[in-house]
A and B are shown apart, each in its own frame.
Chain A
Amino acid sequence: MAIDKRVGSAAEAVADIGEGAVVMISGFGGAGFANSLVLALRDRKVGGLTLVVNSATHPLSQTHTLIEAGLVRKVICSAARGRGADLSPFELLYKAGKIELTVLPQGTFADSIRAGGAGIPAYYTPAAYGTGLGEGKETRRFNGRDYVLEEAITADVAFVRGDIADRFGNLTFRHAQKNFGPAMATAAKLTIAEVRVAQSEPIAPDRIELPGVFVNRVVTA
């Protein structure tokens, strides 16, 4: 039987995500948010989720709908500050002690996901050394410079936004929508891509930016 990773709808694509899942969500700077998959997951109403997402508060991301719906137990991110003086859904729950937070330098967030996808359990980085975010972390000096030990991040599922997919799950991205998508796709047991176009015809080999071996399901959105 031919390989075909395309599924009919976002709801179908997320139908087996369960209670307590660790979910990675791509998107940064206004581009590459896998919002259709996020909304489909919200509609499933499974709780106790851990989100691995760059920002818990970006206004163009639908991440906040999962948080508002009370489905999120913990967020791992580099940004959790809503715009303006008013408190965002995340900040309201965080203030009330109803949601856990791990905040990481964005490069550590990216590298921990990359490490998670590459079978590297932990690594040293200079970012956050000597700061509040480095407190309590193991440190080590290499060649006269101090580093903190950071652990890899992996997930049960990753939601990735791409531009074109083929039936093999190969992906292209438009401009800045790439951001965390390729790394997240390597670090999750199940990767679901939402794309503008899901075609049967294979994408030309040199145009593929993320090989389909890292993508399990594709949905048009």
Chain B
Amino acid sequence: MTPLNRQQIAWRVGQDFENGMLVNLGLGMPVNCSDYIREGREVVIQSENGVIGAGPLASPNAADSDLVDAGSRKITIAPGGTVIDSAWSFAMIRGGHIDVTVLGAFEVAANGDLANWDNRIPDKGPLVGGAMDLAAAAKEVWVMMDHTTRKGAPRLLGACTLPLTAPSCVTRIYTDLAVIWRDAEGFLVKEIVAGLSREDLQSRTGAPLRFAPDCGVLAAPDIAEKD
């Protein structure tokens, strides 16, 4: 059994972006998903700071300190893109105009509850940013994360133990072991990595799994992990 690395998870998410979608990618790993959009598809990437049509990272000699994304990365603007102010950017988010947001997570519950903003680090200040707005208002919330914690504890649970970002919002989960859709009945496995049995996947998951009739193999091309 070979789990996907994080770039491969981002690749797998990127395969599911449809032509013309408006997509917001969370800070950290999710921003990598835009590197893996299928040939022939145009996807508009929105960043909370107001960049509509965010392009790839700027080359060092073209980097502009005024052209950044919400994660302070120096980026480019894709053809057709523009920059709007924060009030309008969040009208776009909170008004339900975002087709998909891809977010990292600490925990996801079978009822779709998402916990991704507060992992209770002692003395560190809170950082919520746009996570609650995106989780509450995007048409779909896709989560990408490792299936378990570093210690092997499940992150897909019957109920979240960490503070919620939004209740009942997650529609899909892409992990290093599986692709799982979340519906009214809970978790539905759509793909599972080769060499991992359904029982093994269930044993690493804290809530009951159902397996889709067309449940397939989760596979990705060889892509090296980045820093």
Q: Are both chains from one complex?
A: yes
**Chain A min CB distance to B24 (Å):** 12
A79→B69 CA distance, assembly (Å): 16
Set of chain A residues within 8 Å of B154, measured between Cβ atoms: none
**Chain B min CB distance to A38 (Å):** 17
Apart from A88-B125, A108-B132, A110-B90, what are 19 other A-B pairs with CB-CB below 8 Å? A30-B68, A30-B72, A31-B66, A82-B124, A90-B125, A103-B128, A106-B129, A107-B137, A111-B94, A132-B164, A175-B64, A175-B67, A175-B77, A176-B66, A177-B66, A178-B50, A178-B83, A179-B85, A182-B87
A32→B86 CA distance, assembly (Å): 12
Binding site for B on A (CB under 8 A): 28-32, 54, 56-58, 60, 78-82, 87-88, 90-91, 94-95, 101, 103-108, 110-111, 113-114, 125-133, 173-183
**Chain A min CB distance to B22 (Å):** 16
The answer on a CB contact under 8 Å between A131 and B165 is: yes
The answer on a CB contact under 8 Å between A113 and B65 is: no
Listed from nearest, the 3 A-B pairs whose CB atoms lie closest are A80-B125, A107-B133, A107-B90
Question: Known contacts being A31-B66, A91-B123, A110-B90, is A78 close to B85, with CB within 8 Å?
Answer: no
A-B contact count (CB 8 A): 157
The answer on a CB contact under 8 Å between B132 and A101 is: no
The answer on a CB contact under 8 Å between B85 and A79 is: no
Which of A28, A81, A111, A127 is close to B136, meaning CB atoms less than 8 Å apart?
Answer: A127
Which of A103, A129, A131, A179 is close to B86, meaning CB atoms less than 8 Å apart?
Answer: A179
Set of chain A residues within 8 Å of B85, measured between Cβ atoms: 178-183
Set of chain B residues within 8 Å of A110, measured between Cβ atoms: 86-87, 89-90
A69→B171 CA distance, assembly (Å): 46
Q: How many residues of chain B are within 8 Å of chain A by beta carbon?
A: 45
Q: Which DSSP category, helix, strand, loop or mixed, fits chain B's interface?
A: loop
The answer on a CB contact under 8 Å between A105 and B132 is: yes
Set of chain A residues within 8 Å of B130, measured between Cβ atoms: 78, 105-107
B70 CB within 8 Å of chain A: yes
Set of chain A residues within 8 Å of B87, measured between Cβ atoms: 110-111, 113-114, 180, 182-183
B49 CB within 8 Å of chain A: yes
The answer on a CB contact under 8 Å between A81 and B166 is: no
A173→B67 CA distance, assembly (Å): 11
